[in-house]
Structure 1
Amino acid sequence: MNTAAVTERSVTGNGFEPPDTSSLYDIVAGAADRHPDRETLADGEDTPLTCAELDRRVRATASALLDRQVAAGDRVVVLGRTGLAWALLDCAALAIGAVVVPVYPTSSAAQIEHILRDSGSTHFAAETSQDAARLIAAGAGEVWSFADIAEWARGEIRADLSERTAAVRADDLAMIVYTSGTTGVSKGCMITHRNMYVSSANTVRQTGGLFDGVTALALPLSHVFGQTMLFACLFGGARTHLLPGIPELVPALPRLRPTFLALIPYALEKIRKHCRSLLSEEAEREAVVTGLLRLAQSQPPVVVDDPVADALGGRLRHVISGGASLDDSTAGFYAAFGTVILNCYGLTEAATAVTVSAPATNRLGTVGTPIPGTAVAIAADGEVLVSGPHVSPGYWGAAGSQRPVDADGWLHTGDVGELEDGFLRITGRKKEILVTSGGKNVAPTPLEDRVRLHPLVSNCMVVGEGRAFVTALVTVDAERAEIWRRENPGQDLATAIQSAIDDANSLVSRPESIREFRIVAGDFTIANGLLTSSLKLRRAAIAETYSADIDLLYSTTRK
């Protein structure tokens, strides 16, 4: 692609970039030197370790790995849920120059086998015996448990450890993160120490003093977003409680009382649905209107004395939201109770962070401005392009011949967007834009996001490529649907869900609106291969699985 094809460009000034001799371990060691007594990471709701204690435990874990012949450049597969043990192993492996290969706990046997084979990993660690068995079934040799590693780390710190850690460089490979693979076999994206350092440090810089607070990190460390937030918390000095997932996060919020969180929209939607038990439907509608007005007027977060605010911890002021689009009504809902959503945008190939909304300049409907040191441009066809020191050098293994960056240095994201005063707005995904037989371009994600907010809906996929009009497949929350049927005998569930379709259609023009929908059996899940590990729709797989339902939607001609 020629730079002449770039129609718009937004560049943020110089950002933080580590020296060539630095590694991600320097974030841990530096914090221990500067703030030895400051609280940092905690397992769940435990008392956090101090920076000095964390550094000692990382060094002890690194020594244990060296004792077991883990060398610089060796790939280390890690399978488990987010927790202190994962973080310690992560930092320790990186400290000695080993390459972390994270695996989602929800990955299928075939996905695990592909990652092990493609990465050429020689060391393996798992949280549970069940996880270990899955790795062994996929071809792993000896698998270390998190508990084993913790026990080994009770030993002495090696005399040669400092020499080993000092040998790691910024451009050394730190991680191989396998992408979701929405359309095929996942690719191993190479992330260097520099990539991750730049992404995390400049996210902290972009957000001012946000990371000088308390948070609960429930993002999977198997995802690059979770990794970036972990190192951002370490770099920014946050007191960070590590939790396995959203089911553990929700009840912990009132006790941990975080000042900020990092979540994906799916989690925000789940928490919003949980909070619905605390207010009426009318009160929720009023809250959304109130919150959207506050956001439109760029009002800062306000302290609210309300059961919903209490359920969020009572002092939650900001949430960094990334990984997918977020419906504006959800942003409005949280704003009404004192929490402002800061949308961000990124991808694995840029170590997560490309743009981040800052508390002082948050703009509704956008994903913020580029983090320091990053350039964002819009190609002639609308594709979002990125350049900066956090962009991956490429792919590993079978995908090694593919280049994410073009001859002019631009990373092609595959997303479609537009820039307004330096703020990026994502309008769709190149491969997911539907073109009807009438030539109308339809972005399915905003429609799907809005339908999914209905309390009875579990998931939704919009259909319409090459068709005369747009339709949707809808799955229902089985438990909520059963309760609804008992409370509404003789009534049609589809009638109730029609309100969600109508609400979604209010966002678009008539040709873009959902004309028909069908409630389908089952659900879209990771286990049945219809969602990626990061909860994105596998559209082709869903279309194939529900082909008969799609045929029924188009079996009659609509005028």
Structure 2
Amino acid sequence: MFDHAAEDPGRVVFGRKADGRWQDVSAGTFRDEVLALAKGLLAQGVRFGDRVAVMSRTRYEWTLFDFALWCVGAQPVPLYPTSSPEQVFWMLHDAEVSACVVEHEDHAMTIGSVVDRLPRLARLWQLDADAVAELCAAGERIDDAVVHRHRMALTPESPATVIYTSGTTGRPKGCVLTHANFMAEADNIVRAYDPVFRSRPGEQAATLLFLPLAHVFGRMVQVAAVRGRVKLGHQPQLSAAALLPDLREFRPTFILAVPYVFEGIFASARREAELAGKAGPFERAVDVALRYAQAAEERAFGTGPGPGAALRVQHQVFDKLVYSRIREALGGRVRHAMSGGSAMERNLGLFFAGAGITVFEGYGLTETTGAAVANPPERTRYGTVGRPVPGTTVHIADDGEVWLRGGQVFTGYLGDGRATDEVLRDGWFATGDLGELDEDGYLTITGRKKEILVTSGGKSVSPLPLEERVRAHPLIAQCIVVGNDRPYIAALVTLDQEAVAHWLTMRGKPVSEPADLVRDPELEAEIRRAVVAANTLVSQAESIRTFRILAARFTEDQGLLTPTLKLRRKAIEKAYATDVEGLYGK
């Protein structure tokens, strides 16, 4: 950051939204703001090695605090804005946090509800109450050299942050990531994805970050953008109503998201076409995109000649009629995207590639500072999470577990040597995920070790592939497969209410209450088709025999999802115990 500002202080490095308009922030301005805030933190008692929590949605000030805290040798501890008081208490207590930055009054009240049990917590600053201005004013009398002395005292092995895993079971564990971890991850990604980070001649690469900065994916994007001199904007709301206007105004050249964002974009385009009476042409456009992308993929791997002349002509026609409109909805300049957090269905990746947006699917964990494996730009294999990023090695253990080794692998869990020893083995990190490597070294994740179901008949079943295939149906929001110690496999399914409302409208049906809707025989038949399609992936003994449609979705507020939207299986089975028993005639 300081080197970039010295070399080219006028270069635009951030887009910041103020009073409804995007404003450019130069490298020099960002450096000066970070320095002023760092001095204020020192003036308010933050010291080298202190841990300071940040509880906020994704916004410019989050990044400002991140870099300011690093400049004084402190360690940011991100908290999800949706965290409950007890979750907040555990993380602040476990990390021995001495100060906290919150976004608004509701967050301050969450902290306040547990502060009497946190004797080490001495400071609380609120972004919406001018915390930045307050701290900058407090540090005016401190010399810049004081900050630089703190900054120079850092080493690559110095802890940069403690990120708590969201965890599908048990208490979250604090992953200690060093500055070396971030540099290894960011620099290897920037080099490997030069076509993405360099953009076209005369056009500055830019990305709009709407992932939560409390998650390692968002933090890695932030650091990589600064290291790679990519213009970065922040968007705190993931809803289409808030996100799409900012995408059109900010006009990123690439985006980073989780699969359900791409699923939402595709589903929205399909609904729009159906409402306009153009369902047939849209489906033909989808078919052409899939065939075009698959032919291009085969050419990249030397197994085919690429798209033929007739297919190229069809593709050009649909590019003007369909694909260009999807790109325009994302700002018009997006040509690349990165997807992580969970698996993306192969056909979805092929569709976007055919529509002119190459989605690089990757895989990583908090413990690996983000992506450890990702599809390379020159040879993307859709339906896999790709090959090891430079500097990373992947090993499949005898039981199918994925092991990783590289400079981005964390140093251990904060204060938990036993848990650390369980996953770090002679330099390898045992991920807990199951996977397979193909002949070209591309990794496919097949499930989680701890989530393998074993029926009462002794059949082992990985629920993930079944759940993902069922969830690929446009009407389905979530699917959880059950069957541990049961005679057969079954599933609970929740609905995408927006998609269902559209489905009802297209059939001339009145919009029903969820409790009535789940008994609609035509809807049940649709869901059954999705289950039958999923069952083609497995043997009869592993197939879903029956399912139940639920009236409400699983939510984070209920404690049924992690902040990264992963299913908390035990919590769901407990909350819906009656429904689960009903699947087995009890």
TM-score (norm. length: structure 2): 0.85
Deviations 1:484-528 (A, max 9, x none): 557325943322322332333344443333221101232211100
**Which residue in 2 is equivalent to 1:532?**
562
**Which residue in 1 is equivalent to 2:136?**
153
CA contact (8 A) 2:349 2:383 kept: no
Secondary structure of the equivalent of 1:515?
Answer: strand
Equivalent-residue separation in structure 2 for 1:363 and 1:478 (angstroms): 32
1:54-73 aligned within 5 A: 54-73=30-49
Once the two structures are TM-superposed, the CA of residue 447 in structure 1 deviates from its matched residue by: 2.4
| Shift in CA distance, 101/494, structure 1 to aligned 2, threshold 3 Å | same
**Which residue in 2 is equivalent to 1:6?**
none
CA contact (8 A) 1:325 1:446 kept: no
Deviations 1:18-38 (A, max 9, x none): xxxxxxxxxx11221333222
Deviations 1:173-229 (A, max 9, x none): 111100012011100111111111111111111212312312111111001111001
**Which residue in 2 is equivalent to 1:225?**
217
**Which residue in 1 is equivalent to 2:492?**
473
**Which residue in 2 is equivalent to 1:289?**
287
Equivalent-residue separation in structure 2 for 1:345 and 1:401 (angstroms): 22
| Shift in CA distance, 113/287, structure 1 to aligned 2, threshold 3 Å | farther
Q: Pick one of 132, 153, 165 that aligns with 1:167.
A: 153
**Which residue in 2 is equivalent to 1:94?**
70
Secondary structure of the equivalent of 1:170?
Answer: coil
Once the two structures are TM-superposed, the CA of residue 242 in structure 1 deviates from its matched residue by: 0.9
Q: Pick one of 220, 228, 237 that aligns with 1:236.
A: 228
Once the two structures are TM-superposed, the CA of residue 450 in structure 1 deviates from its matched residue by: 3.0
Equivalent-residue separation in structure 2 for 1:544 and 1:203 (angstroms): 41
Q: Does 1:41 align with 2:14?
A: yes
| Shift in CA distance, 414/282, structure 1 to aligned 2, threshold 3 Å | farther
Which deviates more from structure 2 when the two are superposed, residues 482-491 or residues 354-363? 482-491
Q: Does 1:180 align with 2:198?
A: no
Identity of aligned residues (%): 40
Once the two structures are TM-superposed, the CA of residue 141 in structure 1 deviates from its matched residue by: 4.6
Q: Which amino acid aligns with 1:134?
A: T
Secondary structure of the equivalent of 2:410?
Answer: coil
Once the two structures are TM-superposed, the CA of residue 283 in structure 1 deviates from its matched residue by: 4.6
Q: Pick one of 478, 492, 496 that aligns with 1:459.
A: 478
**Which residue in 2 is equivalent to 1:357?**
375
Q: Which amino acid aligns with 1:88?
A: L
Q: Pick one of 111, 114, 139 that aligns with 2:87.
A: 111
Secondary structure of the equivalent of 2:83?
Answer: coil
**Which residue in 2 is equivalent to 1:403?**
421
Q: Does 1:189 align with 2:175?
A: yes
Equivalent-residue separation in structure 2 for 1:98 and 1:400 (angstroms): 26
Q: Which amino acid aligns with 1:413?
A: T
| Shift in CA distance, 36/549, structure 1 to aligned 2, threshold 3 Å | same
Gaps of 5+ in 2: 116-120, 199-204, 301-306, 308-314, 511-516
1:261-272 aligned within 5 A: 261-272=255-266
| Shift in CA distance, 498/401, structure 1 to aligned 2, threshold 3 Å | closer
Equivalent-residue separation in structure 2 for 1:30 and 1:465 (angstroms): 56
Equivalent-residue separation in structure 2 for 1:245 and 1:450 (angstroms): 28
Deviations 1:211-269 (A, max 9, x none): 23121111110011110011111111111111113223233222222221111112222
Instruction: Name which structure has the greater RCO, CA cutoff 8 Å, separation 6+.
Output: 1
Equivalent-residue separation in structure 1 for 2:368 and 2:30 (angstroms): 28
1:548-559 aligned within 5 A: 548-555=578-585
CA contact (8 A) 2:392 2:405 kept: yes
CA contact (8 A) 2:71 2:147 kept: no
Q: Which amino acid aligns with 2:548?
A: R
Task: Please state which structure has a larger fraction of its residues in helix.
Answer: 2
Secondary structure of the equivalent of 2:12?
Answer: coil
Secondary structure of the equivalent of 2:371?
Answer: coil
TM-score (norm. length: structure 1): 0.89
**Which residue in 2 is equivalent to 1:135?**
111
CA contact (8 A) 1:295 1:364 kept: no
Equivalent-residue separation in structure 2 for 1:286 and 1:30 (angstroms): 51
Q: Pick one of 242, 248, 251 that aligns with 1:254.
A: 248
Once the two structures are TM-superposed, the CA of residue 483 in structure 1 deviates from its matched residue by: 6.0
Q: Pick one of 315, 328, 341 that aligns with 1:323.
A: 341
CA contact (8 A) 1:529 1:538 kept: yes
**Which residue in 2 is equivalent to 1:144?**
125
Once the two structures are TM-superposed, the CA of residue 399 in structure 1 deviates from its matched residue by: 6.4
Once the two structures are TM-superposed, the CA of residue 436 in structure 1 deviates from its matched residue by: 3.1
Equivalent-residue separation in structure 2 for 1:292 and 1:426 (angstroms): 22
Q: Pick one of 313, 332, 349 that aligns with 1:314.
A: 332
Q: Does 1:504 align with 2:534?
A: yes
Gaps of 5+ in 1: 1-27
Once the two structures are TM-superposed, the CA of residue 374 in structure 1 deviates from its matched residue by: 1.2
Q: Does 1:373 align with 2:391?
A: yes
Secondary structure of the equivalent of 2:197?
Answer: coil
Once the two structures are TM-superposed, the CA of residue 328 in structure 1 deviates from its matched residue by: 1.5
Secondary structure of the equivalent of 2:434?
Answer: strand
CA contact (8 A) 2:22 2:250 kept: no
Q: Pick one of 85, 90, 94 that aligns with 2:61.
A: 85
CA contact (8 A) 1:325 1:445 kept: no
| Shift in CA distance, 551/39, structure 1 to aligned 2, threshold 3 Å | same
**Which residue in 2 is equivalent to 1:513?**
543
| Shift in CA distance, 425/47, structure 1 to aligned 2, threshold 3 Å | same
- Provide the aligned length of Structure 1 versus Structure 2: 529
Equivalent-residue separation in structure 2 for 1:444 and 1:283 (angstroms): 35
CA contact (8 A) 2:293 2:351 kept: no
CA contact (8 A) 1:394 1:400 kept: no
CA contact (8 A) 2:208 2:232 kept: yes
Equivalent-residue separation in structure 2 for 1:476 and 1:407 (angstroms): 42
**Which residue in 1 is equivalent to 2:513?**
none
**Which residue in 1 is equivalent to 2:97?**
121
CA contact (8 A) 1:211 1:232 kept: no
CA contact (8 A) 1:63 1:153 kept: yes
CA contact (8 A) 2:84 2:110 kept: no
Q: Which amino acid aligns with 1:217?
A: L
Once the two structures are TM-superposed, the CA of residue 385 in structure 1 deviates from its matched residue by: 0.5
Equivalent-residue separation in structure 2 for 1:548 and 1:399 (angstroms): 39
CA contact (8 A) 2:494 2:550 kept: yes
Which deviates more from structure 2 when the two are superposed, residues 84-93 or residues 37-46? 37-46
Equivalent-residue separation in structure 2 for 1:117 and 1:94 (angstroms): 21
| Shift in CA distance, 389/547, structure 1 to aligned 2, threshold 3 Å | same
Q: Pick one of 260, 275, 278 that aligns with 2:272.
A: 278
Q: Pick one of 232, 237, 247 that aligns with 1:245.
A: 237
| Shift in CA distance, 382/295, structure 1 to aligned 2, threshold 3 Å | farther
Q: Which amino acid aligns with 2:258?
A: I
**Which residue in 2 is equivalent to 1:523?**
553
Secondary structure of the equivalent of 2:421?
Answer: coil
Once the two structures are TM-superposed, the CA of residue 326 in structure 1 deviates from its matched residue by: 1.0
Equivalent-residue separation in structure 2 for 1:406 and 1:226 (angstroms): 24
Equivalent-residue separation in structure 2 for 1:508 and 1:308 (angstroms): 34
| Shift in CA distance, 75/524, structure 1 to aligned 2, threshold 3 Å | same
Q: Which amino acid aligns with 1:145?
A: Q
- How big is the alpha-carbon RMSD for the aligned residues of Structure 1 and Structure 2? 2.4
Once the two structures are TM-superposed, the CA of residue 434 in structure 1 deviates from its matched residue by: 2.4
CA contact (8 A) 2:185 2:370 kept: yes
Once the two structures are TM-superposed, the CA of residue 127 in structure 1 deviates from its matched residue by: 0.8
CA contact (8 A) 1:526 1:535 kept: yes
